[in-house]
Structure 1
Amino acid sequence: MTQIHPLFYRDSLLNTLELLQDQNLIFYFNPIKIEEKYSWQSILPGKGNSLCVHLTWPNHNPGSHNVGKNFGTFTQYFSLISTRAFNCILNDGSIIRFSFYFADSFLLSHSLLYWPCPYNISPEDLAIFSIDDLIELNEDIKVSESSFRSPLRFDYDLSNNNSYHPGCHLHMQTGATRIPMRSPISFNRFVTFIYQHFYPEEYSRGSFWDDLEDEFTGSGIIIPQSHFKNLCITWD
């Protein structure tokens, strides 16, 4: 089980966001929201009440734009932008957001979303936009100007890990797609993956990627062995 103090991890997330901004790799980022509450039910084996900490975006509220049927739709992207339900916007209008849920210092679940901008916009154009301008542009977009690219969402849920629902998985194309992953993925590993594979020019110009610490190293393989019979996502 992955163990790290949530407030320490909050600082690590903020440091990475500030580094990406200093390197001109993101257009804007929201402050990280911290929610704390005590659980009087046993969450961790052999323990009583736990301090639960949620690290997420500022207005994390349940909504239709989060559910499976809207996954990958223009409606979802526009809703995320207009409600500012994200952690950061990249220089092409794409969205990154994350959610990490801890009990004491143990990671219980996470969700890491990359939503590529569904239309083509240059960093030069975005540089003169405000968030409100981006929202207005979303409302005027034409199908002929659209770019159909699937979001990627890396999910981890310790409480739902079985042969039918891998506790670590990647969503793409549809909300029902769950490609098994070996273990939880840290934000640093996630954001490095995004830039390496979807922004190779920006990635190649950065000399800092290898210095980003993977705080979840040593988490171990948590998905059932049955998932290794087919294709799955793994790493050292």
Structure 2
Amino acid sequence: MSCRVIHTELDNFLTYLLGAGIALYITPISNDGTRVSWVTQGLASKFLQHRNKPSIAEYRDWIDSGAYSALLIDGSLLQISYEVIEGALTGHRLAYVPCPFDVEERLLRTEALLDVIEYHAACAPEDIRLRAAVRFDYDLAAAGPGHPATHLTINSPSCRIACAAPLRLGQFADFVFRHFYPAVWKLHPYLQRLAKSGWGDRTISEDERQSMHINWP
């Protein structure tokens, strides 16, 4: 495992999303030899530091600072970050952050992005879409009782559903597009063909197996 391999796979993925019109914007990839992530315009936070429930203010700040890998055609964000130390995958943050507003794609394509978000943020609260962010975290150093090394978080920071192993980019992409954009997933065989294994050993413990968890071959 190397940052170069991850960088190449991520670059190919993001380039495809942009070229196919699935993403409206992608950000440059940051690769410092241990971490592959996105290049932010503001102060970069530490790896996996943010584990709170995303708010509209944070969504707006992420848009403003470019703290995402891709902005999809409906305004939702993909945040993709991997960490590698001495040839071993040691962490990842793979997040799908739904847009909290029902934004017209036309506006996102023709108007200043932040202006569109500010306009919708000023609308009545009943126009806000109640959709939870979905995040797959892998952090071997933080593993312990109640905190699986690899887990899915939805709706609440205390929700940590154990996953069998770290996710390769293709697994994350398949999960997001198969479940939240089924028409896009069916229309683009590329998304279905992405490699989905080989980026880390299984991390789930025997105790975690006894509770509801996410598993795959």
2:112 aligned with 1:115? no
Superposed CA RMSD in Å reads 1.9
CA contact (8 A) 1:72 1:174 kept: no
Distance (whole Å) between structure 1 residues aligned to residue 165 and residue 157 of structure 2: 20
**Hey, what does 2:210 align to over in structure 1?**
229
| Equivalence map 1:13-92=2 (5 Å) | 13-36=10-33, 53-59=34-40, 61-62=44-45, 67-69=50-52, 71-92=53-74
Deviation at 1:90, TM superposition (A): 0.4
Greater CA deviation, 140-149 or 164-173?
Answer: 140-149
In 1: Cα distance, 2:185 partner to 2:66 partner: 26
* Contact kept in structure 1, 2:143 and 2:149, CA below 8 Å: yes
> Identical aligned pairs, as a percentage?
24
Aligned residues: 213
Asked if structure 1 preserves the Cα contact closer than 8 Å seen for 2:23 and 2:71, the reply is yes
SS in 2 for 1:222: coil
Report the Cα offset of residue 144 of structure 1. Answer: 2.0
Inter-CA distance 218–34: structure 2 relative to 1 (3 Å threshold):
closer
TM-score normalised by length of structure 1: 0.83
Residue deviations 1:71-119 (CA, integer Å, cap 9, x gap):
1322221221122211110000001111111113211100011100001
Which deviates more, 117-126 or 23-32?
117-126
Q: Which amino acid aligns with 1:156?
A: Y
1:68/1:174 contact within 8 Å kept? no
Give 1:171 deviation, angstroms: 1.0
SS at match of 1:67: coil
Q: CA deviation at 1:212?
A: 1.2
Match of 2:178 in 1: 196
Instruction: Give the counterpart of 1:178 among 128, 144, 160.
Output: 160
- Give the Cα–Cα distance (whole angstroms) in 1 for the partners of residues 101 and 119 of structure 2: 10
* 2:126 alignment partner, one of 144, 160, 163: 144
Contact 1:162/1:224 (<8 A) preserved: no
Larger Rg over CA atoms: 1
The residue identity in structure 2 corresponding to 1:149 is R
- Counterparts in 2 of 1:83 and 1:89: CA distance versus 1, 3 Å: same
Q: Which shifted more, 128-137 or 21-30?
A: 128-137
| d(CA) in 2 for partners of 1:230, 1:169 | 13
In the alignment, structure 1 residue 130 sits paired with structure 2 residue 112: yes
Question: In the TM superposition, what is the alpha-carbon distance from 1:136 to its structure 2 partner?
Answer: 2.9
Structure 1 residue 235, shift from structure 2 partner: 1.1
Quick check: 1:162 aligned with 2:159? no
Partner Cα distance (2:199, 2:115) in 1: 43
Residue 120 of structure 1, CA deviation = 0.5
State the alpha-carbon separation in 2 of the partners of residues 135 and 23 from structure 1.
Answer: 23
CA distance in 2, matches of 1:28, 1:233: 31
5+ residue gaps, structure 1, are 37-52
Residue 147 of structure 1 deviates from its aligned partner by 0.3
Which one is further off, 12-21 or 119-128? Answer: 119-128
Which secondary structure state, in structure 2, belongs to the residue aligned with residue 159 of structure 1? helix
Residues 20 and 203 (structure 1 numbering): CA distance in 2 closer, same or farther, change over 3 Å?
Answer: same
Aligned residue in 2 for 1:205: 187
